[in-house]
Structure 1
Amino acid sequence: MMKSTAKVVLEENGGIKEYFVHENESIYVPKTTKHRLVNPGKIPLELIEVQVGEYVEEDDIVRFNDVYGRC
């Protein structure tokens, strides 16, 4: 579930694809796909992230470029 609009940037097939996801829409990010979530607007972005699979802990996340200073 989401309020506002999100821009989802995915690295696909050696290139970059951008998708705009609106309220009541969803997007699937395949395992190991580099991705970034952006709020392109002024309204605060609220979303629910659902992880699926056998292992869904946070310690397997690799951050390549993090403007928020997380490890």
Structure 2
Amino acid sequence: MTTRVDRPWGWYEELAEGAGYKVKRLLVKENARLSLQRHQHRSEHWVIAAGSGSVYCDGTWMDAAVGNTFEIPVRAIHRAFGGPGDLLIIEVQRGAILLESDIERLEDDFGRVIN
């Protein structure tokens, strides 16, 4: 059974986990966005499962529509924006450390940047 974790931008739930990988489903609410962030220990592969929005990765904004995929390399600065409507992302994390503590927030709309 998956457990939904609510966040100010929407929610996520872990779907599967194994040696070196984790699979999540994230919903980014309309007009909300993830922190501008990077990870030191993992890469991510995003598949847009529903909705629309945009994805930022290392200086480039890209349209996010159903079926689009995005590679987020280790240490790449990235974020996702929902809208119009909610944005549903299937995320596959790959790496040796797959913990929430590997999120380095550079900007955040909800005051979660730690200097």
Q: Same fold (TM over 0.5)?
A: yes
> Could you say which residue in structure 2 is the equivalent of 1:26?
69
Structure 1: segments with no counterpart, 5+ residues: none
Instruction: Please give the secondary structure, in 1, of the residue aligned with 2:91.
Output: coil
Distance 2:63 2:103 in 1: 23
> Could you say which residue in structure 1 is the equivalent of 2:54?
7
Letter in 2 for 1:10: C
TM-score by length of 1: 0.77
Work out the percentage of aligned pairs sharing the same amino acid. Answer: 26
Count of aligned pairs between the two proteins: 66
Moved segments of 4+, more than 6 Å: none
> Could you say which residue in structure 1 is the equivalent of 2:94?
52
Tell me by how many angstroms 1:4 deviates: 0.8
**Greater percentage in strand:** 2
Distance 2:57 2:89 in 1: 17
Distance 2:90 2:111 in 1: 22
CA offset digits 1:21-59 (Å, max 9, x no partner): 211221001110111111131x12222222111111111
Q: Does 1:69 align with 2:69?
A: no
Instruction: Please give the secondary structure, in 2, of the residue aligned with 1:49.
Output: strand
**Contact 2:52 2:86 survives alignment (8 Å):** no
Structure 2: segments with no counterpart, 5+ residues: 1-47
Letter in 2 for 1:51: Q
Q: Does 1:38 align with 2:81?
A: yes
